A = this chain, B = another copy of it.
Amino acid sequence: MTIIMHDLAGADPDLRFSPYCWRIRFALAHKGLPVETIPWRFTETDALAFSGQARVPTIQDEGRVVFDSWTIAGHLEDTVPTPTLFGGPIGRAHARFINVWADSVLMGGIVRFIVRDLLDIIDPKDRDYFRTSREARFGTTLEQVQAGREDRLPAFRELLTPVRLVLRNQNYLGGTTPSYADHIVAGTLMWPRCVSRFALLADDDPVAAWFGRMLDQYGGLGRNAKTA
């Protein structure tokens, strides 16, 4: 039975930009599992009432409801063991470090480059919620958070040092082929790719070359995704 996944969308229902949803889109493709995605907007809490919470990705898999990208990845690995996302319990434990690094360091870095751009692509009905909640979090306007981003680019690129150093010695974070670690970081980078024209990665950065390889995986799933 096809998995159903609620997936964050913009005003354009084909524009999908959640870094957490993209991790799972890549993981599903890695497993060769078909998925039917349902576009969802931030304020459509009723549409997720069946899950008892209000965030995406949320999947329905043969009647079972699973949410939170990390939990979904574990569910997929447990129910469809091959091809593996983690390579066993220690690989999964180590991937959790990369997952929380991406959530905190990487996403915390990226958001300050795209948060005002996001406002332009989300559904009009989400805009008040988005501006109010994000401005409360940052303690200033979205415009101020994003201001001066060109000057902050070198510091952001420095945050990617661990990814860059790994790629000196292996083609993927998972080694010779992508693992869920690659889906975590590539999924996170789909977020700025889809919502903003601002170039976060330098063309000659090995991270950009790796991201290009990830965009081409699974029949160009990432490469062909709609962008703003």
A residues touching B (Cβ–Cβ < 8 Å)?
84, 86-98, 100-101, 103-105, 161-163, 165-166, 169-170, 172-176, 179, 181
Contacts and interface: CB of A to CB of B under 8 A. Distances in A.
A175 B104 CA distance: 20
Contacts of A94: 91, 94-95, 97-98, 173-174, 179, 181
Contacts of A163: 97
Interface centre among A90, A98, A103, A105 (most CB of B within 10 A): A90
Contacts of A170: 93, 96
A162 B176 CA distance: 25
A102 to B, nearest CB: 9
A175 B87 contact: no
Q: Copies of this chain, how many?
A: 2
Nearest to A175: B93
Contacts of A88: 87-88, 90-91
A90 B161 contact: no
Contacts of A86: 90
Contacts of A84: 90
A90 to B, nearest CB: 3
A157 to B, nearest CB: 13
Given A94-B94, A173-B93, A181-B94, A165 B87 contact: no
Nearest to A90: B87
A166 to B, nearest CB: 5
10 contacts: A84-B90, A86-B90, A90-B175, A93-B179, A93-B181, A94-B173, A94-B181, A97-B101, A101-B162, A105-B162
Contact of A97 (B87, B90, B98, B103): B98
A181 B95 CA distance: 11
